[in-house]
Amino acid sequence: MCTLFYNANLLMTDSSSEKCNAIKVENGVITWIGSINPFQNPDVQNPDIDMKNIDLKGAYVLPGFLDSESHTCFSDFFTAVKNNELSPAEQEDWLDNAAEILKDKGISSLMLTPDTFEAVHSRKNRFLISIAEREELNFSESDMSYGLEEPFSSFYDKFESVPEALRSLTADTSGACRKLTVGSFADFSIFEKNPLLSGMKFFANIHCIRIVKSGKTIYDMEEEAENEMFALLMNQTF
């Protein structure tokens, strides 16, 4: 089965796809970018295709964001764990909070050193495990952190413009920036508003509404809010 994301505004595409509003994904890869009538059921337009359709309701789709800086935070965290500086409850709270921050920022790839990657996979946080990627990262003096910090605590202070910040968030370790193109991995960071039409202060506080990794939704803000509300109601009932 393939997945069609439609009724979308696509950003950071090739010039030939700038006005397109739909992306088809198969086996974790973008196989088609084009336009369909957002007012017509995609099943009617593609009756012979076994396809899951996801209406993005006009949201803005960017290549999945990469975080190659928070590895220092995670390294410091696991050092604190190793040194018995945090209780089990404090450990879970820190990891849960870190995951919520990375969801909010739209991170689809968390680049970690091999040791930290293994440490993340030893925990039970499903979201962090789904975005963690093993990478040989070189530390410099500017990368060093002092004390246990949250991810993204000072990330946006480094940039003067949104395009500059987006280049950093979509650049892999070789420096090449991701784009939404046929043949590329289907990793998306999706926002309700266009980040490129905002200033840095607004962009630093913008909320991601959906993260797609290899064609599969790993975070849906609306769904999580509904689940949290249901859990709250159940706790109040019983």
CATH of 1-64+178-238, one of 1.20.120.1200, 3.40.50.12160, 2.30.40.10, 3.30.70.3040: 2.30.40.10
Spatial distance between the Cα atoms of 233 and 220, rounded to a whole number of angstroms = 20
pLDDT in the model for residue 101: 96
pLDDT above 70 covers what percent of the chain? 87
Mean pLDDT of all residues in 81-108: 96
Work out the average pLDDT over 37-48: 65
- The residue with greater pLDDT, 191 or 136, is 191
pLDDT, position 23: 96
pLDDT higher for 153 or 183?
183
Judge whether residue 57 has pLDDT over 80. yes
For the ranges 130-134, 143-147, 194-198, the lowest mean pLDDT is seen at 143-147
- Gap between the Cα atoms of 71 and 109, Å rounded: 11
Q: For residue 32, what are its two tokens?
A: 């088609």
Domain range annotation of the chain: 1-64+178-238, 65-175
Angstrom distance (rounded) from CA 194 to CA 206: 10
| Least reliable range by pLDDT among 20-24, 124-128, 172-176, 224-228 | 224-228
**Given this model, what pLDDT does residue 230 score?**
65
The pLDDT tens digits of the residues spanning 190-212 come to: 999 999 998 998 899 999 999 99
pLDDT mean over 203-229: 91
Distance between CA 225 and CA 238 in Å, rounded? Answer: 20
Mean pLDDT of the 74-102 span: 96
Handedness of CA 46, 217, 103, 163 (dihedral sign): negative
**Which region among 30-39, 134-143, 172-181 has the lowest average model confidence (pLDDT)?**
134-143
Arithmetic mean of pLDDT over the chain: 89
Can you give the chain as a three-state secondary structure string? Answer: CEEEEECCEECCECHHHCCCCEEEEECCEEEEEECCCCCCCHHHHCCCCCEEEEECCCCEEEECEEECCCHHHHHHHHHHHHCCCCCHHHHHHHHHHHHHHHHHHCEEEEEECHHHHHHHHCCCCHHHHHHEEECCCCCCHHHCCCCCCCCCCCHHHHCCCHHHHHHHHHECCCCCECCECCCCECCEEEECCCHHHCCHHHHHCCCEEEEEECCEEEEEHHHHHHHHHHHHHHHHHC
pLDDT higher than 60, residue 77: yes
Size of the chain, expressed as the number of residues it contains? 238
Residue 142, pLDDT above cutoff 70: no
pLDDT at residue 170 greater than cutoff 70? yes
Reported as a pLDDT band with limits 50, 70 and 90, residue 141 is very low
pLDDT of residue 44: 55
Residue 67's DSSP bridge partners are 110
Instruction: Average the pLDDT over 96-117 and give the result.
Output: 96
